Structure 1
């Protein structure tokens, strides 16, 4: 096998979590007399961590004053319902099971804060696959800084040169490039705009195909 370890992004890669994030941020906006955001708008704001999601949402609806209070409220609202509408993408559980059966260590590296990332993973049955979970507040920096991905790889005692990072966004792509780690881009996630100078190591039509790529090197779309 080309890879000895696999690190995954979470939102838009393994799970569709945008509806619950939209519910939480629209609750924050409602308490401030702001308009609700569409799901498409919220998706376009996801990927750079909770604070940036809140900043973008406030800016789109009238201004970012009260950002710290809005962030705290967003996290409270989100953490009370991380799995109300969030769902694991089709085939992901089977794919993770196949990788685990083959003995490949796996980790999560997400810009979602670590506590809700762990909670959501546990509620959806994903937690047992990931002995290492690196969130957006695990370190002082977030993706696309390479430090979170390097931290996840170190936690697995893996070799970066034989590790695959799997994600759905420009942030994930830039993280992998900065970390000098091979990158598999999963289509159909939360990346809504073309990525400049995009040249991922692999492109996959859906996350379930990661298993085929890693275990056999043959991907059927």
Structure 2
């Protein structure tokens, strides 16, 4: 591995490793129906994904700034959404074509290169989904939106993974030796906020947000990942 090659790869989940759009949208609409509200088009709900379950629910309820005066109502809506999603998270969700092959290629070329997941999805369904699809075998850690006191794009989670990965290797890993891979500006800004590099995935849920965030590299398919990380 050359000096410019990464020492840590961190992946987003939704829109990067898996396409979970339909199950998330169905869960949001089930929540809205339960509350007696009109359902929303999938493309609208999909545009709300990326900042965690709470913001997804708030946006669907028409509270995008999180300034609702009825927090009990929002909490009840979030609870229903999470309970429904817990049961239906694997109805239509699938791993993007090329993801397994790309991860296997990276692992084969660099058996000791640490890889992890950092998502704003709650950590329990994130880990369960990765385990279901056999993705967990590639990652030393999987952190979710409720793993820390902050979520992406705050860099705390990424910095934590850098510190943990450093403890697994002989040398300390620095942020510039880390690549955050994701499909939205949230992931790219997370990398920017701690001095890491980034790969923006145009095949995901929010490719329209990538350009303004200015990722280090662009991937049009998971098959691009091995080349972009220096294989």
Q: What TM-score do the two structures reach when normalised by structure 2?
A: 0.87
Q: Which residue of 2 aligns with 1:56?
A: 59
Range moving further from structure 2, 50-59 or 64-73: 64-73
**CA distance, structure 2, for counterparts of residue 178 and residue 120 of structure 1:** 28
**CA distance, structure 1, for counterparts of residue 187 and residue 90 of structure 2:** 23
Return the offset for 1:195.
4.9
**CA distance, structure 1, for counterparts of residue 42 and residue 222 of structure 2:** 21
SS in 1 for 2:213: coil
Structure 1 stretches lacking a partner, 5+ long: 217-221
Does residue 207 of structure 2 align to residue 198 of structure 1?
no
SS in 2 for 1:59: coil
SS in 2 for 1:176: helix
Q: Is the Cα–Cα contact under 8 Å of residues 44 and 192 in structure 1 kept in the other structure? A: no
> Which of 111, 115, 118 is residue 109 of structure 1 equivalent to?
118
Does residue 148 of structure 2 align to residue 125 of structure 1?
no
Q: Which residue of 1 aligns with 2:174?
A: 159
**CA distance, structure 2, for counterparts of residue 10 and residue 73 of structure 1:** 22
Structure 1 consecutive aligned stretches of length 4 or more whose deviation exceeds 3 Å: 192-198
Q: Is the Cα–Cα contact under 8 Å of residues 184 and 205 in structure 2 kept in the other structure? A: yes
> Which of 71, 89, 93 is residue 86 of structure 1 equivalent to?
93
Q: Which residue of 2 aligns with 1:40?
A: 43
SS in 1 for 2:47: helix
Q: What TM-score do the two structures reach when normalised by structure 1?
A: 0.91
Return the offset for 1:113.
0.6
The aligned length equals: 214
Return the offset for 1:208.
2.4
Q: Is the Cα–Cα contact under 8 Å of residues 108 and 152 in structure 1 kept in the other structure? A: no
Q: Is the Cα–Cα contact under 8 Å of residues 155 and 191 in structure 2 kept in the other structure? A: yes
SS in 1 for 2:77: helix
Return the offset for 1:193.
3.5
Structure 2 stretches lacking a partner, 5+ long: 167-172
Q: Is the Cα–Cα contact under 8 Å of residues 109 and 135 in structure 1 kept in the other structure? A: yes
**CA distance, structure 2, for counterparts of residue 201 and residue 70 of structure 1:** 38
Q: Which residue of 2 aligns with 1:182?
A: 197
Counting only pairs closer than 5 Å after superposition, residues 139-158 of structure 1 correspond to structure 2 as: 139-157=148-166, 158=173
Q: Is the Cα–Cα contact under 8 Å of residues 31 and 81 in structure 2 kept in the other structure? A: yes
Q: Which residue of 2 aligns with 1:219?
A: none
**CA distance, structure 2, for counterparts of residue 10 and residue 42 of structure 1:** 17
**CA distance, structure 2, for counterparts of residue 194 and residue 215 of structure 1:** 25
